[in-house]
Amino acid sequence: MICWKDKMTAWNDSLYTYGYLLTNDGQLAIQRLPELVKWQYDTIRGYSLFVYPKQKYYTYSTSERSLLLVGHAYDPFNMISDENEILADLASLEYGSNEYRDRYDQVTGVFFFAVIDDNGITATCDCAGMLGANYALINNMQVFSAYSQMIADIYDLKEDPYVTKLKKSKLFHWYGWYLPGDLTPYSEIKRIIPNTEVHVTDKASIHRFYPRKQYGTVNNEAYPAHVNNICTIMNNNLKLIAEKWIAPAISLTGGTDSKTSLACAAGVQDRFSYFSYISLPREETDALAAQSICKALGLEHKIYRIDTDPAHHTEFEEVSELLERHYAYLGKANTNDICKRIELRSRIDFDVEVKSWVAEVARASRYKRYGKKSFPKKIRPRMLTSMYKLFAFDRANAVATDRRFKDYLENTGLQKAIEITGYPWTEFFVWEIVFGGWGGLALTGEHMLTNEITVPYNNRALLDMMLRTPLGKRISDQLQKDMMDHMDARIERLGIHVVNGNETKQREMLERAYYMINNLLPW
């Protein structure tokens, strides 16, 4: 393992990239993690705040409380691109009221958000946890960080035995390196679940603030206006991105989500540059499809071809270790991803990348994966375990994971919220576990090694609108097709569409069989 103190290189400055540390134990943090000396430092109501040099943060204080936002944010409902204005607006509302919640739900961005008062800290993450958000209460000290490993470094924590055993499961690496519920690799540290906030004083308590309204879908008569409303918010997001950054770029594939983002940039498409990369043979189809779309629209498109031979990259081992540490040692990064970060760092010519992540939350992905048109309305922990990993020959880990998901459903209030509101629970698995668990790790610790990233779909009020689209239209991606037709009909007319090579009928049948059988097993 590389010792960061002894081997100082350019990548050492990327340790815990775009991260932050908020704590009332600032002296120990500096002593145990000297890299923090180079970070931005501030104090807020007695708490120490350390922020990665390239990361941004904003504060707004009243006599009663201080609001903190680390990262970036913008509001497409009220067309506000300034974080200070967003914080001032939130501070003017009654804290915790429905008006306050509705206003917060309208904010897009990649950020950590906290409210600090005399009673401690109440913290949450952005809509889907795209900027990591973890918390711990250790020796009566409150600690919040984008990286669980950073907290573990400071307090010399040992890995949770359950996680150690889970990592040894033969198929643990399938579906991504993330953990069930709100777990991190360390039992003392928990992940803040999207749609919840955690209040920390001498103890920690979780409060769910979404969903809080009754679920329902729009009818056929209201559907055209529904599509128009969704397109307006997405278009506003792209306009605000073009306003906030000097040289924004949209990463494109021939897939549904990125094509929809491109269409929703109507009116400001010339403010963006467009790119794809090829680091694996299968990515060439995507990149060439994206290039063809841009050419047809008269837009310039760049393809980054990545040399994936580790021998050609002298920094390969160091970056590999850096990424493994950012992933809290849940797994090693793929060779092509390591090489991609090394090459893109010196080759990119944009200041923010627009990713189309999070859109999948509303695209009924689990209905597609298992070829189903309905799921039981009541959630059982085993259903989540079956979606999480393949435990066909590892029943001990299956049962242990059931217990973790049971805790998640109860402690975060999701089971109760679903029973009261009637929302489809499968979407919350994708939203809070897949994107909140894996997405935050990958985007914060890996993708942002090379550049800042924003995600226009990462807006709770927008996702709620999309979830209220009739299920059939979500399963068939009719909503996205109608959005493209509404915003830039040229894109859909081109007929260029790349299907994920992993999404085969054979795989659908096998995964559906596993899901159904695993749910029936009593152990």
User: Which pLDDT value is given to residue 502?
Assistant: 64
Residues 228 and 198 both lie in one domain: no
User: What is the total count of domains within the chain?
Assistant: 3
Q: Cα 61 to chain center, whole Å? A: 28
What does the pLDDT look like over 403-452, one tens digit per residue? 999 999 999 999 999 999 999 999 999 999 999 999 889 999 999 999 99
Measure the CA–CA gap between 447 and 36, rounded to whole angstroms. Answer: 21
**How much is the pTM?**
0.96
Residues 445 and 423 both lie in one domain: no
Residues 180 and 324 both lie in one domain: no
Query: Which parts of 34-100 are beta strand (E)?
Result: 40-44, 47-51, 57-61, 66-74
Residues 379 and 317 both lie in one domain: no
Residues 402 and 448 both lie in one domain: no
Q: 466 is in which domain, residue-wise? A: 223-360+436-503
What does the pLDDT look like over 87-120, one tens digit per residue? 999 999 999 999 999 999 999 999 999 999 999 9
Residue 216 lies in a domain: no
Residue 376 lies in a domain: yes
Check which CATH number belongs to the domain holding 334 and give it. Answer: 3.40.50.620
Measure the CA–CA gap between 61 and 72, rounded to whole angstroms. Answer: 18
Domain final residue, candidates 208, 237, 268: 208
Residues 382 and 262 both lie in one domain: no
Measure the CA–CA gap between 514 and 520, rounded to whole angstroms. Answer: 10
Whether 4 shows a pLDDT value over 60: the answer reads no
Largest CA distance in the chain: 66
Q: Cα 56 to chain center, whole Å? A: 18
User: Which pLDDT value is given to residue 503?
Assistant: 66
Residues 121 and 76 both lie in one domain: yes
Q: Are the C-beta atoms of 464 and 232 separated by less than 8 Å? A: no
Check which CATH number belongs to the domain holding 82 and give it. Answer: 3.60.20.10
Residues 161 and 46 both lie in one domain: yes
